Structure 1
Amino acid sequence: DILKDIINDRDKTFYIQLIDSKKIIGAVFINNDHLRYQVNSVCLSYYLAKEYCGQGYMSEALNVVIDYLFDQGKEVISARAFVGNEPSKRLLLKLGFVLEGCLRKAVKGYQGIIYDDLVFSLIKDNDC
């Protein structure tokens, strides 16, 4: 277990820190789920420094955060990934998220580029 800790910052940001160096290498952000109404849900976003991608850090971190959120009574956890971000899509599917669909022209990013967004969800007792 090389992930030292998920440092909780007021239930909105969890920082991913290495055990040995104490270096923060990424974060998981908890946001409002603006696509649901009157449901106890949140939307995850996350970031990991490039040199640590593909080594299991984000999978481990998201598992911890997901367990925490369900323990806090969340009914649905959603996440979004840009179309074409295959590593993020694979990660979410591996964690049990279900692809709900694609929001076309959903996010305007850097340099004015507009991205389509894949929408995923995870339900504690996933029946469908």
Structure 2
Amino acid sequence: MFRLRVDEEILLRSPEKRDAKPIFALIDQSRDYLREWLPWLDSTRRLDDTVAFIRSAEEEFSRKKSLTACILYKGEIAGIISYNYFDWYNRTTSIGYWLGESFQGKGIMTRAVAALTDFAFRELKLNRVEIRAATGNKKSRAIPERLGFQREGCLRQAEWLYDHYVDLVVYGMLAEEWEEKKRERIEKEGRGRKS
């Protein structure tokens, strides 16, 4: 089981069967909001769909193919974050995420993505972390930009979103860049507290 304490408010941990109801409820409450950018909402219509998702996540994790975690904010499930795949030969992964509408604007996802990126480099000894987001998804794109990921390009019509294709911006971070970016963020936060 995966468990990573981000800070006093946020915990990332593997989803369990008992999480199916709160995850499904969060999806249902945020369905219209999430549907704008996530292609899987129409295939998540019943609690059983979420149970199947958790079962699949457990299996993929046990086979070291991917890792999915619940984002707990003050003890409540706020969203999901994952390493979508592991390419162990090339030492790369891609991070995906979503957050319930009522949890937006609290810095939750930025902190969760930073922690998962750090874990990828420090603990998993990966060399590259990638994030992809639709060009029009400004909230999602703001996270890698805030964390200093480099914009590497645009994949044209790379994702089918219900009735149309969207272009995806690709962001990348290398292990050798991460520590420097992390130091810069800490220094900037320190200066912000002093003023």
Normalised by the length of structure 2, the TM-score is 0.57
SS at match of 1:125: helix
Q: Aligned partners of 1:70 and 1:14: how far apart in 2?
A: 17
- Matching residue of 1:3: 9
Return the offset for 1:38: 4.6
Indicate if the aligned counterparts of 1:33 and 1:78 stay in contact, CA closer than 8 A: no
Is 1:79 the counterpart of 2:134? The answer is no
Map Cα deviations across residues 85-116 of structure 1 (whole Å, 9 max, x no partner). 11221211111110000000100012x22110
**AA partner of residue 73 (structure 2):** L
Question: Which of 69, 87, 112 lines up with 1:14 in the alignment?
Answer: 69
Q: Aligned partners of 1:41 and 1:28: how far apart in 2?
A: 16
- Matching residue of 1:69: 120
Alignment of 1:84-95 (within 5 A): 84-95=136-147
- Matching residue of 2:175: 124
**AA partner of residue 6 (structure 1):** L
Question: Which of 73, 87, 91 lines up with 1:40 in the alignment?
Answer: 91
Which has the larger share of helix?
A: 2
Percent identity, aligned pairs only, is 25
Indicate if the aligned counterparts of 1:102 and 1:118 stay in contact, CA closer than 8 A: yes
Task: Point out the structure with max Rg over C-alpha.
Answer: 2
Structure 2 unaligned spans of 5+: 1-6, 16-60, 181-195
**AA partner of residue 153 (structure 2):** G
Indicate if the aligned counterparts of 2:73 and 2:108 stay in contact, CA closer than 8 A: no
Question: Which of 49, 71, 76 lines up with 1:23 in the alignment?
Answer: 76
Map Cα deviations across residues 17-74 of structure 1 (whole Å, 9 max, x no partner). 122xx3211111112378xx95210011100011111210001111111111112111
Deviant stretches of 4+, over 3 Å:
8-11
Moved more, 74-83 or 88-97: 88-97
| Alignment: residue pair count | 122
Return the offset for 1:12: 0.7
- Matching residue of 1:49: 100
Return the offset for 1:118: 0.4
Q: Aligned partners of 1:4 and 1:76: how far apart in 2?
A: 24
Return the offset for 1:82: 0.2
Q: Aligned partners of 2:96 and 2:73: how far apart in 1?
A: 20
Structure 1 unaligned spans of 5+: none
